[in-house]
Each structure stands twice: as structure tokens, then as C-alpha cells.
Amino acid sequence: MATFPLRRILTLQPIVALLLPFGVAALIGYFWIAPQIRKDAESRQLQIARAVASQVESYLDTSMAIVGAAAAIHHDLGMTGHNRQHLLDGLVSSSRSLGSLYAVNPDGRISSIALAREAPKQNQELEGLDLSRNALFRTVAQSGKPGWSEAFLSVINGGLSAAYAVPGDGVIVVGEVDLGSLSRFLKQVSGGNDLLIMIVDDKGQVIADHDGRRTAQQLNIGNISLVRRGLDSDLPTTGRFDLSGARMTGSMIQIPAVDWHVLVAQKDGALYRTVLNIAWIVLACILTALLCAVAASIYLARKLAARFDALALHARTIARGDRSGAWPLSSIDEFNQLSGSLKTMADTLYRQELDLRESENRTASLYNISQYPFSDEAGFLDHALNEVVRLTASAIGYIYFYNEHTRQFILHSWSNGIVRSRSRKRSTTWTAPGSGAKWFVSASRSC
């Protein structure tokens, strides 16, 4: 089985314990919180699209109302051409969106025309212009219903325009909406460059956008899946798409009055900027907390491992035979219990070692005594007495002979240190109960 240093284990385990909840939180954030944030962002985009569509519709409603008013008044046959011209001029000047307003006779020729102040052409040059082949004129003349044209380059306004025509009594009144003015209006609505606002017709052609670039390019974005779904269903649509190499999130909603659609989109980086900033701040705090936790874990692991190192060092010192030092203690109860248990075990082993040595010495002494030649009785008894004295760690010793007939102990021999001993007997014999004769050995630890 593989083994690892205690410091590494004590360091890695707290780190794993810290990383585990953060990992779970990251998974929850990725699979649950992130979709919720994306859903909320798309919902906000859809609300913005509705608001922009409402403003654009209101912007266009003004032009439609002016054209409708001009068509309703123009049937008065008593009105002179001069008065009609003044009427058209007044209506155009009251509108921010109309670039021109003119009346077309049934033969397709312009009878009266009013131009905005910034229009490059003069009224006289345009009166009598033949529009009989114009698609919008022919459609409205045949159906008798108001209608909008597609975006086109106007020969009257000199720029991109979209025309709205209303049939009147004997004339068709046409008002051309300057898409440049509509783009400037969208720029005011957007409030900045982060928000992309485009108006798209039913074929995916960009009619107006907030900065005018895509309108000037006559860009068609019908190939974008979000736009295609919005055009096909005419329902509010939200999703993500790529435009000009940028990942964007947008919403598309229809303007019912003109059958146009408003697309409001924003780059993901700008849309989620606040969330990303908060996420980076939280991540920085988490990393800082993890670094502090790792540093504290390493410090505590080294401190705790040092206690065990001291305990192991003391155990090795005792194993070498040095029992002078004290067992290390700590402020941790469990560590002190371990130290006490090791001390008890060491003391027990030491006592068992002493008992074993004493048993070995006893066995060796008995073996030495048994191996001594018995031919010399005095020498044998002296050798036995010295072995007994050494075995019992005594200072002096005696050998008595016991006579069972006289029941007396008779001193036979003594150890070498008996001359200096204070325990020497005054009498060499004494009487004791019993019978026969036996040897008796006495040893004393006193000196």
C-alpha cells in the first residue's frame, strides 16, 4: 500500500474539502444559474424590442396620419392648386419623418408635391413626374387600400425611402418616409453603440438601423435563423445569433401597422458585462479565500506534523536506550492521550525487558552452576554462592548446613564481601526443627 507524508495528507485533505463545495457551486451555477441569467437577459431584450417597436410605430403612425389627412382633404374640388400646395407644405413641415408628400393623378402623374427643407430638388422640377409604372401606385390604385412600399432609392428625396400611399377622391396621396431620419430616430432610441436596433421588412431587408451603416449597404439578414423564425411566425422571437463575427443575443417583434419587424440585439460581452464583472469579483474573492485557506492549511499541517515528529523522535530515543527525556505534550487532548499511551507501552516493554533479562540471567547462573565440576565441594559451593549473590544483586551471602538430627544450621561458607559487612552472624550455628541434613543459602542486599 502506498504511503504519504503526514504533512501532505493534512494539507491536501482541507484543500479538497474546500474545493468540493466550490465545485458543486460552479456546477449549479453553470447548469442552473447561467440559463436563468440568459433567460432574464433575453426577456429584457424582448421588452426593449417591444418598447422600440411601439416608438417606431408611433413614429410611423404620425406619417401615416399626415398622409391620410392629406388624402381626406384633397377631394374638395373647390380647393385651388395654390391652396393645395400650401396644405401639403404645412403637413410636411409638421412631420419629422416625411421627406416628401405629393398627390398623384389617376394617370400616374404628380399634380402637387411638397418637399422637406433639406430636400435637394425643387417642387417645379418634380410636378408632372410620371409614376404610372411605380409598383406601389399600381397596387394601391388597383386595390383601393393604403399600403407601404419596400425600401427604395427615391428620385424625389435623393436617399433611401419607404413610401406610404392612401387612395383619395380622384388622387392617390403618397408620403415618402426618409429612412435616414428613421435611422437618426433609432440612434436616439438606442442611447449608445452597445444596442443594435434594425428595422427589417418582410423579406429580411434592413430598412433602417441605429447607425445607418447597414441601411446604406442594403443588407439582407434573412439568412439569420432568428430573423427567419420571426418573419415566418410574426411572433415575438428571442435567441442568439452571429453577426459580423460577433456573438449576439436579440429579440425580434413585428410592427403590425406596416408588416415590418424590429430587431433589438446586443453583443454578449456587453449584455452580460455586469454579470461577468460580478462573476469575476466573486471568483477573485473565492481564489483569495482558497489561497488563504491553503496557506492556513499548510501552516496548521506543519505545526501538527511537528508534534508527531517530536513524539516519534522521543520514541526513537527511548528505543536507543535513553530514557532521560520527558514525553512531549500539547494543548490537544487526543495528542496527550496518544503520548500517554505510548509512555505506558514503553514502560511496560521496559519492565518486560527487565524481567526477561532477569530470567535469562537466572537461567545462565543455573547453567553455570550445573556445569561446575563437583569434585571440589568447597569450590563448587563458593561458585554457587557467588552466582546466587550475582543473580539476586545482593551484597553478601552465606551457605549454612542444616543437620536434621541436631536440628541446627551450621555456617559453611560466605561471600568475599562478608568481612566488610555489618550483617555477619555472631553464632555459626542455631537450632531449627526438622530432621536430616540440608544445605541452606542466605543472601542479603545490605552492606
pLDDT in tens, 375-409: 677 777 777 888 788 777 777 888 888 777 888 88
Q: Is 166 exposed, middle or buried (0-12, 13-18, 19+ CB in 10 A)?
A: buried
CB under 8 A, 24+ apart: contacts of 307-310: 307/332, 307/335, 308/6
Neighbours of 97 (CB within 10 A): 22
Give, as one character, the DSSP assignment of residue 207: E
Measured in whole angstroms, the distance separating CA 314 from the mean position of its chain's CA atoms is 46
Q: Is the pLDDT of residue 237 over 80?
A: yes
Q: Does domain 1-271 have CATH number 3.30.450.20?
A: yes
Tens-place pLDDT, residues 290-330: 888 888 888 888 888 888 888 888 888 888 888 888 888 88
CA distances to 220, 401, 431, 437, 442 from 406, in Å:
143, 11, 7, 9, 20
- 363-321-336 Cα angle (round to 5): 120
Separation of alpha carbons 205 and 19, rounded Å? 52
pTM above 0.85, yes or no: no
Q: Is the pLDDT of residue 352 over 50?
A: yes
Tens-place pLDDT, residues 145-181: 998 888 788 877 777 788 899 998 788 999 988 888 7
Cβ neighbors of 52 (< 8 A, separation 6 or more) are: 186, 189, 197, 262, 264
The mean per-residue pLDDT over the stretch 411-415 comes to 77
Q: Is the pLDDT of residue 48 over 80?
A: yes
Mean per-residue pLDDT over the chain, rounded: 80
For the chain, domain boundaries? 1-271, 297-371, 373-444
Cell numbers at 268, concatenated: 454578449
Say if residues 249 and 242 touch (Cβ distance below 8 Å): no
